[in-house]
Each structure stands twice: as C-alpha cells, then as structure tokens.
Amino acid sequence: MMKLSCADMGKPECHFVAEGETAEDVKMKLMDHVREMHPDALEGTSEDEMMKMMDEKMM
C-alpha cells in the first residue's frame, strides 16, 4: 500500500491522503483531488510537473 498526503505536496492545511496499491493509483487519486479542491495549485504548474513532484515525494 502506498500513500501520499496533500500536506506532503505543500498544502499543510489539507488532511487528504491518497492511498493505493501502486504509485500510479496514488497519483491519480491525488490528482483528482487537486483538480477538485486545489485548482489554484495547477495554475503555473502543469499536471505533468505535478506528477513528477508526486513521484519525488513518494520515494
């Protein structure tokens, strides 16, 4: 089981944690959450860049 929290991605006020069997699962879940709850985080950062940052945080 892998997981990555929104706080890890620079949103300490958010308590969302994405969990999944694979890194891909976790990234998809967190990306859906970011699109819905933190659209501002995607201004100036592409989804590709966001995915890359998630990879780095998960290692």
Among 8-16, 22-30, 39-47, 48-56, which window interacts with Zn ion (CB under 5 A)? 8-16
From the CA atom positions of the chain, what is the Rg in Å?
Answer: 10
Tell me: does residue 53 bind Zn ion (CB under 5 A): no
Main-chain phi, psi angles of 21, to 5 degrees: -75, -35
Is the Cβ–Cβ distance between 54 and 1 less than 8 Å? no
Minimum CB separation of residue 55 from Zn ion in Å reads: 18
Tell me: does residue 14 bind Zn ion (CB under 5 A): yes
Tell me: does residue 6 bind Zn ion (CB under 5 A): yes
Is the Cβ–Cβ distance between 10 and 17 less than 8 Å? no
Residues in contact with Zn ion by CB under 5 A are: 6, 11, 14, 16, 37
